[in-house]
Chains A and B, each alone.
Chain A
Amino acid sequence: MRPVLVVEDVRKYYGRVAAVDGVSLTIEEESVVGLIGPNGAGKTTLLDIISGVVRPDTGRVKLVTEEGEVDLTGRPISYITRMGVSRAFQIPNVFSGLTVLDNLRTALVASKRLYTRPTRSYESLPGVDEEAHRLASLVGLEDRVEVKASGLSHGERKLLDIAMALTTKPRVLLLDEPTAGLSAVEKGRIVELIEGLKRRGIPMLVVEHDLDVVFSVSDRVVAMHEGKVLVEGRPEEVRSDPRLRVAYFGE
Chain B
Amino acid sequence: MKPSDYWALVLVFALLAVAPALAGPFYTRLLATGILYGTAAVGFNVLFGYTGLLSFGHAMFWGAGAYTVAIGMVKMGLSFPASLALSLLVVGVIALVTGFLSLRHTRIYFAMLTLAFGQLLYAIALKWRSMTGADEGIYGVPRPLGDVVLYYYLILGVSLVVLLALLKILKSPLGLAFRSIRDNPFRAEVVGYPVNRLRLLSYTISGLATGVAGSLYAPLQTSVNPESLYWTFSAAIVFMAILGGSRVFIGPFIGGLLYVFIQDTAMGATEYWLLATGITLGALILLLPEGIVGYIWRRLGGRLE
Contacts and interface: CB of A to CB of B under 8 A. Distances in A.
Contacts of A6: none
Contact of B177 (A76, A93, A106): A106
Contact of A115 (B168, B173, B184, B186): B173
Select the residue from B180, B187, B190, B195 with max chain A CB neighbours within 10 A: B190
Contact of B180 (A77, A95, A119, A125): A95
Nearest to B186: A93
A95 B178 CA distance: 12
Interface of B: 168-169, 171-177, 179-180, 182-184, 186-195, 198
Interface stretch (A17-25, A97-105, A215-223): A97-105
Given A78-B192, A82-B192, A95-B184, A110 B172 contact: no
28 contacts: A76-B194, A78-B190, A78-B195, A81-B191, A81-B192, A87-B190, A94-B187, A95-B183, A96-B183, A97-B182, A98-B183, A105-B176, A106-B188, A107-B191, A109-B176, A110-B192, A113-B192, A115-B173, A115-B176, A115-B193, A115-B198, A117-B172, A119-B172, A120-B173, A122-B173, A122-B176, A167-B191, A168-B191
Given A78-B195, A95-B183, A102 B172 contact: no
Interface residues of A, number: 35
Contact of B191 (A76, A97, A111, A123): A111
Question: 6 nearest interchain CB pairs?
Answer: A110-B192, A95-B183, A81-B192, A115-B177, A110-B191, A107-B191
Contacts of A125: 173
Contacts of B171: 121-123
Contacts of B195: 78
B218 to A, nearest CB: 29
Contacts of B190: 51, 77-78, 81, 87, 93
A93 B184 CA distance: 8
Given A117-B172, A118-B172, A121-B172, A110 B184 contact: no
A106 B194 contact: no
A97 B177 contact: no
A102 B183 CA distance: 12
Contacts of B188: 95, 106, 110
B173 A114 contact: yes
Given A78-B194, A81-B189, A110-B193, 14 more contacts: A51-B190, A77-B189, A78-B195, A81-B192, A95-B180, A96-B184, A97-B183, A98-B180, A117-B172, A118-B168, A120-B172, A120-B173, A121-B172, A122-B173
A96 B171 CA distance: 19
Nearest to B168: A119
B200 to A, nearest CB: 13
A118 B174 contact: yes
A94 B192 CA distance: 13
B191 A106 contact: yes
Interface string A117-146: 111111101000000000000000000000
Given A114-B173, A122-B171, A125-B173, A97 B179 contact: yes
Nearest to A161: B187
Given A115-B198, A118-B172, A109 B189 contact: no
B185 to A, nearest CB: 10
Nearest to A106: B180
Contact of B174 (A78, A82, A94, A115): A115
